[in-house]
Chains A and B, each alone.
Chain A
Amino acid sequence: MTATENPTYTWVGTRPIRHDGYDKVVGKARFAADLDLPGQLHTAYLRSPHPHARILSIDTDAAAAMPGVRAVVTGADFPDLDPMNPNFDVSVNVMARDVVLYNGHAIAAVAASTRAEARSAAAAIDVEYELLPAILSLDESTADDAPLVNENNITRFVESDGPSNLATVNVNERGDVEAAFADADLVVEREFETAWVHQGYIEPHACVVDVGPDGRADIWASSQGHFMVRAVTAAVLGWEPSRIKVTPAEIGGGFGGKTTIYLEPVAARLSEKSGRPVKSVMSRDEVLRATGPAPAAKVRVKIGATSDGDLTAIEGWLGYAVGSANDFAGLVGAMSVASYKFPNLKLEAIGALTNTPKTAAYRAPSAPHAAFAVESVIDEIAQQLDLDPIEIRLRNAVVEGDPTAMGMPHPRIGFVECLEAIRDSEHYRSPVPEGAARGIGTGFWFNIGEQSSATVNVNEDGTATVITGSPDIGGSRASMALMAAEELGIDVYRITPVVAGTETVGFTDITEGSRATFATGMAVVNACRELVEDLKARAATILGVEAEAVDWVDGEAVADGKDPLPLAAIAAKAKSTGGPLTETASLNAGGAGPSFAVHCCDLAVDEETGHVEILRYTTAQDAGTAIHPSYVEGQMQGGTAQGIGWALNEEYVYDDEGAMQNAGFLDYRIPVASDLPMIDTIIVEVPNPAHPYGVRGVGETGIVPPMATIANAITRATSVRMTSLPMSPPKILERLGER
Chain B
Amino acid sequence: MKYAAPTTVDDARSLLADNPGSRVFAGATDLVPQFRGGRPSPPLLVDLKHIDRLMSLTHEDGQWTVGAALPTSQLTGNAGFTAAFPGLAEAAGLIGSDQIQNRSSLGGNLANASPAADSVPALLVNGAQAVVATADGTRTVPARDIATGPGQTSLAEGEFIIEFTLADPPAGTGEAYLRMIPRSEMDIAIVGAAVRLTVDGAAVTDARVVLGAVAPTAVSVPDAEAALTGAALTDGGLDDATLAAIADAASTVCNPIDDKRGTIAYRRQVAGVLAKRAAAIAAERARNGA
Residues of chain A whose beta carbon lies under 8 Å from any beta carbon of chain B: 283, 285, 608-611, 613, 648-649, 653, 661-662, 664, 666-667, 669, 671-672, 674-675, 728-730, 733-734, 737
Residues of B with C-beta under 8 A to A648: 182
A674 to B36 Cα, complex, angstroms: 28
Contact sample, A vs B, 16 pairs, CB 8 Å cutoff = A608-B273, A609-B273, A610-B266, A611-B182, A666-B33, A666-B188, A669-B182, A669-B186, A671-B183, A672-B183, A672-B184, A675-B185, A729-B262, A730-B263, A733-B266, A737-B269
Compute how far the CA of A653 lies from the CA of B259 in the bound complex, rounded to whole angstroms. Answer: 9
Query: 1/0 per residue B32-43: CB within 8 Å of A?
Result: 010011000000
CB distance from B223 to the nearest CB of A (A): 20
**Complex contact B183–A649 (CB within 8 A):** yes
Query: Which A residues lie within 8 Å of B187 (CB)?
Result: 666-667, 669
A675–B187 alpha-carbon span in the complex (Å): 12
Given A283-B36, A666-B187, A667-B188, verify A734-B182 contact (CB < 8 Å).
no
Residues A669 and B183 in contact in the complex (CB < 8 Å), given A733-B269, A734-B265: yes
Instruction: Determine if B36 and A730 form an interchain contact, defined as CB atoms under 8 angstroms apart.
Output: no
Does B110 lie at the interface of the complex (its beta carbon under 8 Å from any beta carbon of A)? Answer: no
- Chain B residues whose C-beta falls within 8 Å of the C-beta of A669 in the assembled complex: 182-183, 186-187
Known interface pairs A609-B273, A664-B33. Does A730 touch B262 (Cβ–Cβ under 8 Å)? yes
User: A700–B60 Cα gap in the complex (Å)?
Assistant: 61
Q: Tell me, in angstroms, the Cα distance from A395 to B259 when the chains sit together.
A: 45
In-complex Cβ contact of B183 among A661, A664, A675 (8 A): A675
Tell me whether A285 and B266 are in contact (CB under 8 A).
no
> Which residues of B from 267 to 290 have beta carbons under 8 Å from A?
269-270, 273-274
Given A609-B274, A664-B33, A675-B184, 5 other A-B contacts at CB below 8 A?
Answer: A662-B260, A666-B187, A730-B263, A730-B265, A733-B270
> Interface residue count for B (Cβ, 8 Å)?
23
Q: What is the chain B residue whose CB lies nearest that of A670?
A: B183
A672-B182 in contact (CB<8A) = no
Q: Is the CB of A674 within 8 A of B185?
A: yes
Q: Among B36, B190, B262, B266, find the residue whose CB has the most chain A CB atoms closer than 10 A.
A: B266
Residues of A within 8 A of B232 (CB): none
Shortest CB-to-CB span from A469 to chain B, Å, is 36
A residues in contact with B183, CB < 8 Å: 649, 669, 671-672, 674-675
B266 is contacted by which of A613, A661, A674, A734 (Cβ under 8 Å)? A734
**What 6 A-B pairs are tightest by C-beta distance, nearest first?**
A730-B266, A674-B184, A653-B260, A661-B260, A608-B273, A662-B260
Complex Cα–Cα for A189 and B38 (A): 48
Whether, in the assembled complex, B166 has its beta carbon less than 8 Å from a beta carbon of chain A, the answer is no
**Nearest residue, chain B, Cβ from A614:** B184
Interface-central residue, A653, A662, A675, A730, by most chain B CB under 10 Å? A730
Shortest distance between the CB of B266 and any CB in chain A (Å):
4
Known: A609-B273, A653-B260, A666-B188. A728 touches B182 (CB 8 A): yes
Contact with A along B174-188 (1 / 0, CB 8 A): 000000101111111
Bound together, the chains give a CA A609 to CA B261 distance in angstroms of 14
Give the docked Cα–Cα distance between A737 and B273 (Å). 14
Contacts of B262 in A (CB 8 A): 729-730
Given the complex of chains A and B, what is the CA–CA distance between A729 and B265 in angstroms?
12
